[in-house]
Structure 1
C-alpha cells in the first residue's frame, strides 16, 4: 500500500534533504515563495506550509527585508522522526530495527538500577495493559507507560528523553498489524505481547541484567519479525 504524502510534506522533505545534504549551504538565500511555487508547480499555500516547517525546525531563518536563509546551524539540528514519517508498516519496521538494540540495553541498565518505586510503576503499567486489552488506543498508552517506567529505572535521563521523544511513535499501532484479522488472532496477539512484557519486568525485578536484555531483545525481535513479514506480504499483494 502506498503511503499518502501531502504536497506540503513532499515539498518540505525535498527542501529539507537539499539543506541537510549541503546542496543548500548554510547562509544560502532561499528562493522566494513565488519562485518555489513556480519551480515545483504547487500553490503558494503549499510553499508557505513547507517553509514554515523548515523555520520551525531551525533549518531556515527569516531576516526582515532580506528574505529567508538556510540556518548556519542547519547541519547540526537534532535528529527527528515526525508523525507523518511513521504511517506504514515499512516505517515501523525501520524504527523497530533501531529500537532493537536500544531497548535491550535499556532493560539491562534498568535491571541493575531499579528501585521499589520503579517496580511499582512497571507493574502498574502491566496491570493497566491487561485491564484495557480490548481498547487498542488505551492499551498502546499503557504500553508506552511501561517503556517509560523502564527508561526511568535506568536512572539515566537520556533514556527517558529518548522514550519521551518517541512518544506515540514508540508502540506500533495494533490496527496496522491486525488489519483484517479475526478476533481470536487479535486475542492471541495481545496475550503474546503481554507475556513478552511480563518477562522483561520479571527479569528487571529480579535484578538480572542479562535476563532483562535477552527478554527485551526477544520482545523487539518478535515485533520486528511480525511487522517485517506482514510488510513483505502486503508489498506482494500490492503488486498483484
Structure 2
C-alpha cells in the first residue's frame, strides 16, 4: 500500500518529537506545542498533527489532558528498547548490534550449560542438523536463528527468550551478504563454518561446562564480527541488489 503524503509528514513529525524526548529537550511532564503552533512552525495541516499525536500516544510518549493540552508522558524516557530494521542500514550498524550480542550470547551459553534439559539438547541438535542439511540461504538463516533460540530457552530465563525473539532473524546480520549469488558451493562452505562454531557451543553445553560454553560463544560472535569488518573494509553494502534491506 502506498504511503500518503500526510502519513509521511506525520512520520517526520513523530520522529522529530521522539528525538527531542530522547535527548531530554522535552522532559516528562512538559507540554507539547499546540496544534496551531505546530502547523505554523512545521508547515503541516492539523490532520497531520493529530495523526502524529495519535501515534505518539500509542507509543506511550504523549498523554492528553482535557482542556489543558498534550504532555510528555511520565514514562516516556523509559519506553521499551527498540531496534528497527530501518536502523540497521549499514555495516557499521550491524557491527554495533553484534558487539551488543556478544555479551548476550556469551552469558546465555554459560547459563544454558548449567541449566539445560534433555529437551533443550534435542532442540539444539535439531538446529545443528537443520543447518547441516540446508541447501539455500533462507534455510540456513532459519536454522541459525533456531540454534540461538534453543540456547535462550535452555537458560530457563524467559527474559533471554523474549529478547532473542525480539532480535529475530530480521536483525541477525544477513547471510545474503555472503550468499546473494546463491551459489550452492559457497553456501555449503559458509553453513559448515557456522556449524563448526555451533557444534563447539553445543559440546560445551552437553558437557555442562559453563566456562567452555562462554568461550565457544565468544569465539563464534567474534568470528562474525571479523567477517563483517572485512566486508566493511572491502566496501560491501548491506543491501540486496534491488535495494531492499536483507532479512
Shorter-chain TM-score tier: 0.7 to 0.9
1:17 corresponds to 2:19? yes
In the alignment, what sits opposite 2:141? 140
In the alignment, what sits opposite 1:187? 188
Q: CA deviation at 1:56?
A: 2.5
Q: Which runs of 5+ in 2 are unaligned?
A: 1-7, 238-247
Instruction: Describe the shift of the 1:10–1:99 C-alpha distance in structure 2 as closer, same or farther (beyond 3 A).
Output: farther
Q: 1:120-131 to 2 correspondence within 5 Å? A: 120-131=122-133
Q: Does the Cα contact within 8 Å between 1:89 and 1:176 map onto a contact in 2?
A: no
In the alignment, what sits opposite 1:31? 33
In the alignment, what sits opposite 1:166? 167
CA distance in 2, matches of 1:119, 1:38: 61
1:201 corresponds to 2:233? no
Q: Does the Cα contact within 8 Å between 2:131 and 2:191 map onto a contact in 1?
A: no
- Larger mean Cα displacement after TM superposition, 176-185 or 83-92: 176-185
- Larger mean Cα displacement after TM superposition, 110-119 or 7-16: 7-16
Q: Does the Cα contact within 8 Å between 1:118 and 1:152 map onto a contact in 2?
A: yes
Q: CA deviation at 1:150?
A: 0.4
Aligned residue pairs, count:
230
Q: Does the Cα contact within 8 Å between 2:61 and 2:75 map onto a contact in 1?
A: yes
- Larger mean Cα displacement after TM superposition, 145-154 or 73-82: 73-82
Q: CA deviation at 1:146?
A: 1.4
CA distance in 1, matches of 2:203, 2:50: 51
What SS is found at the alignment partner of 1:234? coil
CA distance in 1, matches of 2:217, 2:132: 19
Q: Which runs of 5+ in 1 are unaligned?
A: 1-5
Output one character per residue of 1:127-152: Cα deviation in whole Å (capped at 9) or x when no partner: 22233341x23332222221111011
Q: TM-score, normalised by structure 2?
A: 0.79
- Larger mean Cα displacement after TM superposition, 29-38 or 40-49: 40-49
RMSD: 2.8
